[in-house]
């Protein structure tokens, strides 16, 4: 359950505007291959698209990371957003992280991909690249299904690809996703999430 590092330069040609202020909490339980971990995340995004997040056990066990960045988006029939981020890691793994979150939506289809490169200031052999990608379809307002992929590339070691399937339930501000990676293999692992998000509703009443 490590994450990873990535350096990307984006050339963005689209409308950049204010979004709705929102934040949330995510809690994931990872189990498989004889180990397990609980990964909590807390995030906040301002009306001006500035993003801040704190997570634990994400890049490495017993490691806390703080990331920040700014989202660039275009919301139309085909909507997408790109959020370049950078941050620091403290704990068992000490160093920095660079990456980007990409999200796309078209009607009932959605795509998301998180790229990350994590680097240690103590031992470069702990550096790694990580990607988590999802492609899904909303069957109803309460249920979605899709495919997922984890790619981990530790320092000077070949890529570790883990394809998976996912299903999720949504109700109001709550989402419960379930992932099964390597479902046909002997080294399958599972991820269960419980996510909650709030949004600040802007009032149209002028006092």
Is 206 exposed, middle or buried, given 0-12, 13-18 or 19+ CB atoms closer than 10 A? exposed
Inside any domain, residue 8: no
Half-sphere exposure of 191 (CA within 13 A, CB side): 25
- Is the pLDDT at 10 greater than 50? The verdict is no
Task: Write the pLDDT tens digit of every residue in 174-203.
Answer: 999 999 999 998 889 999 999 999 988 665
Inside any domain, residue 139: yes
Task: Write the pLDDT tens digit of every residue in 142-172.
Answer: 999 999 999 999 988 888 999 999 999 999 9
Inside any domain, residue 204: no
Inside any domain, residue 177: yes
Inside any domain, residue 178: yes
Inside any domain, residue 1: no
Q: How many independent structural domains does the chain possess?
A: 1
Evaluate whether 119 touches 97 at the Cβ level (below 8 Å). yes
- Is the pLDDT at 49 greater than 90? The verdict is yes
**The predicted structure's pLDDT at residue 9:** 29
Could you count the other beta carbons within 10 Å of the beta carbon of residue 34? 7
Task: Write the pLDDT tens digit of every residue in 59-105.
Answer: 999 999 999 999 999 988 899 999 999 999 999 999 999 999 999 99
Output the domain CATH number for residue 60. Answer: 2.40.160.40
**The predicted structure's pLDDT at residue 154:** 94
- Is the pLDDT at 11 greater than 50? The verdict is no
**The predicted structure's pLDDT at residue 192:** 98
Question: 46 is written with which tokens?
Answer: 């301002």
Inside any domain, residue 39: yes
Split at pLDDT 50, 70, 90, the class of 18 is low
Q: How far apart are CA 100 and CA 117, in angstroms?
A: 10
Evaluate whether 131 touches 113 at the Cβ level (below 8 Å). yes
Q: What range defines the domain where residue 136 resides? A: 22-199
Inside any domain, residue 13: no
Phi, psi torsion values for 167, nearest 5 degrees? -145, 145
């Amino acid at each position: 359950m490590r994450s990873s590092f990535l350096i990307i330069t984006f050339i963005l040609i689209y409308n950049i505007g204010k979004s709705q202020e929102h934040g949330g909490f995510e809690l994931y339980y990872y189990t498989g291959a004889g180990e397990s971990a609980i990964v909590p995340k807390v995030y906040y995004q301002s009306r001006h698209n500035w993003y801040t997040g704190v997570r634990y056990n994400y890049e490495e066990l017993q490691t806390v990371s703080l990331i920040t960045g700014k989202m660039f988006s275009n919301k139309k029939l085909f909507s997408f957003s790109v959020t370049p981020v950078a941050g620091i890691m403290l704990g068992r793994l000490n160093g920095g992280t660079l990456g980007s979150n990409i999200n796309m939506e078209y009607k009932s289809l959605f795509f998301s991909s998180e790229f990350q490169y994590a680097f240690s200031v103590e031992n470069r052999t702990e550096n790694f690249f990580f990607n988590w990608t999802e492609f899904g379809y909303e069957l109803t307002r309460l249920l979605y299904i899709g495919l997922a992929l984890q790619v981990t590339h530790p320092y000077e070691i070949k890529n570790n690809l883990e394809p998976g399937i996912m299903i999720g339930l949504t109700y109001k501000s709550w989402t419960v996703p379930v992932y099964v990676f390597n479902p046909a293999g002997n080294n399958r692992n599972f991820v269960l999430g419980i996510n909650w998000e709030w949004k600040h509703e802007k009032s149209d009443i002028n006092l």
